[in-house]
Amino acid sequence: METLKAMALRKSVRAYKDEQIAEEKLETILSAGCAAPVGMARYDSLHLTVIQDKEVIKKVSESIMQMLKRENDPLYGARTLILVSSQEMPAPGLDYTNASCVMENMLLTGADLGIGSVIVWGIALAVEANESLKEALSIPEGFKPLIGACFGYAADTEQKEKELTVKIQSNRV
């Protein structure tokens, strides 16, 4: 029941308060990520990077802006980024699928705890393309950044549950 409520509450947040998220909430979010299903139970093939250093977040933001030729902060003022990286896996797509399962658990847990989030595709691309950034983040050797997201307290505190409907085209056989 609570899971359905978290799903209904979760939405992409694109403006954050300048306030760091509580440490115990971050721990819960990370633990929830680690409870996700992972192909062949290869939890060791994944790595989580929590980025809270303001200067490093600024570098990631600038790197994305440069790459995408954007002028606005693509990280929306978020004070925490979480990046999921993976080693190369023996089956195609396994790395991205694992990272997505971990990330979705973290997004939903954020929603449950009143922490907003948004996946930003450019985070992983920018880190992968920037060797000094990869080094600054201590991404372990052999791991590739796959999905990054912003986490933080939403500037707009209004919470609205969306209706859960089958909106993706589907069929039954």
Pick from 22, 27, 121, 142: which binds ligand FMN (CB under 6 A)? 121
The reply to whether 119 sits near ligand FMN by the rule CB under 6 A is: yes
In whole angstroms, how close is the CB of 162 to ligand FMN at the nearest point?
A: 7
Q: Are 145 and 128 in contact (CB under 8 A)?
A: yes
Alpha-carbon span 146 to 131, nearest angstrom: 15
Number of neighbouring beta carbons within 10 Å of residue 60: 24
Of 11 and 42, CB closest to ligand FMN: 11
- Please identify, among the stretches 1-9, 32-40, 81-89, 120-128, the one whose residues bind ligand FMN according to the rule CB under 6 A: 120-128
In whole angstroms, how close is the CB of 173 to ligand FMN at the nearest point?
A: 26
Return the axis-axis angle of helices 2-9 and 94-113, rounded to nearest 10°: 100
**CA separation (Å) from 129 to 50, 63, 66, 69, 138?**
19, 9, 12, 15, 15
Pick from 115, 118, 126, 154: which binds ligand FMN (CB under 6 A)? 118
**H helix count then E strand count, the chain:** 6, 4
- Please identify, among the stretches 8-16, 80-88, 124-132, 133-141, the one whose residues bind ligand FMN according to the rule CB under 6 A: 8-16
Alpha-carbon span 34 to 57, nearest angstrom: 23
In whole angstroms, how close is the CB of 169 to ligand FMN at the nearest point?
A: 16
3-state secondary structure 34-61: HCCCCHHHCHHHEEEEEECCHHHHHHHH
In whole angstroms, how close is the CB of 76 to ligand FMN at the nearest point?
A: 7
The reply to whether 5 sits near ligand FMN by the rule CB under 6 A is: no
Pick from 12, 20, 31, 159: which binds ligand FMN (CB under 6 A)? 12
Q: Are 75 and 150 in contact (CB under 8 A)?
A: yes
- Please identify, among the stretches 50-58, 80-88, 119-127, 134-142, the one whose residues bind ligand FMN according to the rule CB under 6 A: 119-127
Name the residues that contact ligand FMN, by CB under 6 A. 11-12, 14, 118-122
